[in-house]
Chain A
């Protein structure tokens, strides 16, 4: 039997078409290119446009955070290693960088206010982490051997089609 027709459980994950490993620089255009590769990989594994949209925004915010914070003091654009694994119920991600550790409360959710008060100035930032925590599940962070490792999954939802889905 050809490898591509074998059931999933018989396959060595490392050779699987379900896994994509990427190494990127942390500049904005490398990040754009990386997002495009992840999109292509997820689309090949059956992600519809809603799931693709969620993957792209979550990953973009994670990568922007690394570029802006973890590698903020680095003279050169640091490496970011991404592993994307397609599974039946989600796309799982592990994102590693060698930059500075984040603040201790990195995983703390920062909910958006229900409404913005008309008399107080609107925020122009601080949206990124909220988007990450809202659209991903199983979010964990570890600092190991001088690396930051963020893991999360974007669930596959089949109940909504591409138009304006409700969260």
Chain B
């Protein structure tokens, strides 16, 4: 799965290019996020606006990616589409992550 990485100010923006984070790609996705957060600024923002479907294994891989980040560093999310948003809300993970309406709004709030 393709994930594009850009450092914008103090934020590393990771844009997911695939439309599904499901059991077929969850492990590869987690490994890729881990590699891309290595040596990143303190705030990493995952832009999910292209993702139209996520299942529990995809959700687990995002939670795992956040747990892998060292203390004091943050994984934020942006651009949740309705089906992705539903999975975060129903599992209460919407309370755990900082979620921005879009990556543009998120960058602005992070002072970018």
Contact = CB atoms under 8 A, between A and B. Distances in A.
Does A associate with B in a complex? Answer: yes
Interface of A: 28-29, 31-32, 49-50, 53-54, 56-57, 60-61, 64, 67-68, 112-116, 121-128, 130-131, 134-135, 162-165, 167
Interface of B: 20, 22-24, 53, 55-57, 59-61, 63-64, 66-67, 82-83, 85-87, 89-92, 95-96
A165 B55 CA distance: 18
B53 A56 contact: yes
Given A28-B23, A57-B87, A113-B92, A128 B55 contact: yes
B95 A32 contact: no
Given A32-B20, A127-B59, A164 B82 contact: yes
Nearest to A56: B53
Contacts of A163: 82
Contacts of B89: 167
Contacts, number: 86
Given A113-B92, A162-B82, 11 more contacts: A28-B24, A29-B24, A32-B22, A54-B86, A64-B23, A67-B23, A116-B96, A123-B60, A124-B60, A134-B90, A167-B89
Given A122-B96, A127-B56, A28 B82 contact: no
A29 to B, nearest CB: 6
A131 B91 contact: yes
Contacts of B59: 127
A167 B87 CA distance: 11
Nearest to A123: B63
Nearest to A124: B60
Contacts of A134: 90
A125 B60 contact: yes
Contacts of B87: 57, 127, 131
20 contacts: A28-B22, A28-B23, A29-B24, A31-B23, A32-B20, A57-B83, A60-B53, A61-B55, A61-B56, A123-B60, A124-B63, A124-B67, A125-B56, A125-B57, A127-B59, A127-B87, A131-B87, A131-B91, A167-B89, A167-B90
A134 B91 CA distance: 10
A163 B86 CA distance: 10
A156 to B, nearest CB: 16
Contact of A60 (B55, B61, B82): B55
